[in-house]
Chain A
Amino acid sequence: MEKAKVDFAVGLNAYETVEEIVDKCVEAERLGLDYVWIGDSPPHLYCPSVAAAVASRTKKIRIGLGLLSTLLHTPDQISGGITPLIEAYGDRFEICLGVGDRSQLSRVGIDSKLVRVWDHVLKAKRKIARSLRASGLTTKIWLGAQGPRMLAASKSFDGVLINYASPKMIKWAMDKIEPVARKDFDLGIYAPSYVYREWHLQAYRLLRVASAVVALGAPTAVLDGFGFSKRLRRAKKEHESGLRIESVVKHVPAEVVDSFSIYTPSSRLRSYLSELGDLGISHIVFGFPQNLSKITIRDLASALPFP
């Protein structure tokens, strides 16, 4: 596959204060990152409002909203959120749709097992695109995907953000997407990340927790496909019993963590990025805990191959 220009992004989890998130986004823009992605989850701040605050203090960095769960927000609420943002701050916004963290959804009374999620997300995407078109607006709509059905559905979107990081797994995912020859389709990954110049135990622990959350929420087809199911059985059982993730993480093997995250010293990042480039990945979102502080964001930026 032809190498595309790669966009680099940092993902922000909106549990800090709005001011702290905005400061980090201002720093990301100063450092030359192409995107910030503002996460959205029931225990966090409200993504469209945080995105507005970020847009009001930055000039050109693109702002991704998501993953926005279509089980939590209606298509009208999603298109109605993006519309005033574009009207007020210009065409700098993109959205990523998906199911979201099923355990968090279940805490707020949403049972994701009651719907065919790939179908639900696809219908929502179509409705959102229609509403935006009716207002004379367009925006790139990504799909956040892991399992085979969601990956297959991604060809109806403008791009896919795959939620794991190992090249072997990404290649597996790409086979499920089928060759999408469209020039306007982007392949991306959004994974827990820790790219470091100086290694810190706290950040590493947070990376393990973030990766464990993603791994434990991964569809069975993904876990089976890579032989992780058996190795995650105990952790999954404990997690489902309500134990806090921090207690469960010790039962998640290190190589599982590695598969779901970008974990590397900054000096080795370029060779990893080169592998992703060979696979045709054109959008990389460095997720939590890369956003831990302005320093960890700077460490990332210093290792990126900006033109």
Chain B
Amino acid sequence: MIYLTRRATFSASHYYWNPAWSAEKNEQVFGRCANRNGHGHNYTLEVTVAGEPDPVTGFVVDLKWLKDIIEREVLSAWDHRHLNLETPEFATAMPTTENIAIAAWKRLEPAVTAASGARLSRVRVYETPEIFAEYRGES
């Protein structure tokens, strides 16, 4: 089994705010991330696909194909957007790095599965070079 990873970047803004909580509790739990004017990051998305190399091409999947899927399913929806205000998954869910990794998986998994012999193995999202989250499809 070979694991192949493609990296992509997108820039987006967000804030953390649970409407069920008071302003004080939001600020206490989320700190500066609770600023309702939002803030932004250069996110790095790492998409890992697992499979056996094709005996003819030597590819697990064609990297260009994977790049196009990432652009179509994720970047076109999230890049240069406000995640809370402009994306369906974060209209209610908190756009934390954990939830962004899960949402990216949900966007990518059907396309990867439908079109290749490989399977999506892991999605990792870096919010900064020091902060990241990953999701492997677990329930």
Instruction: Report whether chain A binds chain B.
Output: no
